Structure 1
Amino acid sequence: MQINLEILGFAVVEDAEKCTALNEKVIVSDMMLRRRLTRNARISLYLADQLGEMNTPIVIGNAYGEVAETFDILKAIASHETLSPTAFQNSVHNTPASYLSIVGQNKGYVTTVSDLHETSEALLKVGALKSLSAGSMVLILTDAIDFPHIDELNRCGITRKECGVALHVRHTEQPTTLFLSGKQFEGYSPSVWKMLEIAQGCQLGSIIGVEI
């Protein structure tokens, strides 16, 4: 079964270390809330804002989760220190989805999927299925793995430690116009390859086919 998606908008942000100029002070006016944001949440909010679609159905893909917060928790445990309630709260995969719901006052469909290197594929499949009933929606993939000692642990050749890709899509019966070659992006996590290839190769109105 193939579900076709028309691309209504797209956005990409990435950096070797931390993405800058994510416009947090404008997007999140509440300072206390802004201070609690994880890197994945900041990237997700920025991408949704770039598309102008903060209050639509959203599916977020995330391969590695909130590793910086998890590192802080493990460090505290190893040092016999008190765990940070904020780090504990922010340590789950659906953290970006929660902040998108709060900031965008989104009371609709917001969910998270994760499938390590196949996260792009999982994100597209869930989004395609949901598009059959949801109308237009936003698919966001983020990975942020810049935390202390990452260079000692990183054996995957990932040099772009933060990356986010977003697509604004809707279901269409029109034929596919964008065909992927399975391109690999050196230095980027394999989890983002497919979404990144779509964003780099598409134009507004391009149609991508998703096999279910």
Structure 2
Amino acid sequence: MNDILPLLPLWAPDLARGFSLNILMSVVATLLATLLGALLGTMQCSSLRAPALAASWLTQLLRASPPLVVVFYIMYLLPFEVSWLGGYYLLPDWLKASVGLALPACGYMSEIVRGAIRAIPLTQWEAAAALALDSRQSLRRVIVPQALRSMLPPWMNLYCMLTMGTSLASLLGVEELMLTLEIRLSGETRPDLLLPAYGLTFGLFFLYIYPLSLWSRRLEARLGHYR
């Protein structure tokens, strides 16, 4: 590791820029997975058989999809630019990679939402019905606010998983941390820098994710006392 320390001041701006792109991708992917996963999870709890069955099958399909394969597929499926309001806008590769990472995560988010909703006692549904609330109002005003408590810790774990998965985007030319590091290493003629450099990458991800994991575990333990 001492071999790479003198190079850190020169590499630091590019590595920080690359890692910030990893964080941006993880945030975008988590938001997309949360929105679509919440919709699927709610549909799985529907009293209508057809939507519930369709959502269940789609959830299992997404959960069984390899993230790298989905990212490759999305990268080549989405166009390079889109037209909107008479103008043309480029779709950056990092955004396409974020969509590819979000799709498999939707399946996990769907199960998080379904499990949290199903965990609410039946008496809460009965109480909502006694207040003359229909099923949608019961979900929005009674069930979901209580289910959010148990959704939060696994949702944070999902974010950590997506953050680690953003390194896959380097295989598609997205200049995040891994690819930025490889570009810097290509300018050196010292093979002995490979292991310290990848150790540095591991350390950056660890320093960012480990505190979030600890916070998630403490939050889960704390919320468990209020159930």
TM-score by length of 2: 0.23
Identify, as 1 or 2, the structure richer in helix.
Answer: 2
More strand by share: 1
Rg larger in structure: 2
Using CA pairs under 8 Å that are at least 6 residues apart, name the structure with larger relative contact order, 1 or 2. 1
Using the size of structure 1 for normalisation, the TM-score is 0.24
